Structure 1
Amino acid sequence: MQKKVIISRIVVVGLLFLVFNLGKTMVQTYTASKRVGELDLQVSQLEMEFNKILQEKEYKETDEFVEKEARNKLQLIKPGESVVVIDRNQEAVLGVADENPRKDISLQDQWAQLLLSGLRL
């Protein structure tokens, strides 16, 4: 009888050991698969970033980019071109005149002068 009790206890301890190891393995597998999913996502993001950098590199190797940079940063021009500089800090010229000689003239007369001045040759 004691032999059966000892054997049953050994079997129970063995089963508990197996269940514990099986649970531990399942947790490790779940954790590893979750980590693999995260790494797959990271790989996808890095591939997209890599492709974007490759496209940018290809664009920067084009003549169009080189010309644009030479014009904007080095302020170079092609032969035969002229440069027009616009001062963005200046106020608009239209409507800022100090004296308007047409203040005394009616609106209809101003329109008539404008239209008739365009017809003169």
Structure 2
Amino acid sequence: MRDRDVFRQVETLRHRDATSSVSRPALEVHARAVARASESVRPSFVSDTDLDAIADPRVSTMAALELCLDGLWRRADDGYVITDVDYVADVLADAGRPRAWRTLSTLARRVWIELNSDRFIP
């Protein structure tokens, strides 16, 4: 993704309610990570290796921490799950990937939220 496109995405993300409190460097890492993940088989997963390839490890680690604290990412084995499924779906749509992913990801997000709520007892 070109820098101009990344900065355009960051400005768009700054005006969303869910991401308005996130710092610009974290949003830049978010935009680059989603763009990179959208080209893979798992478009909502960013491996630790891919994250370190996006930015300096110190920057990417702090950005990942901030994104997790704001609820846009969740830590998983060997990486992060991007829970900002609306943004992932928009990036996939821009890349020409099918919109059916949005329905599936919305369902997966609802299941994830329900399973991680205080009401669910394993």
User: Would you call these one fold, judging by a TM-score over 0.5?
Assistant: no
Q: TM-score, normalised by structure 2?
A: 0.17
Structure whose alpha-carbon radius of gyration is higher = 1
Higher relative contact order (CA 8 A, sep 6+): 2
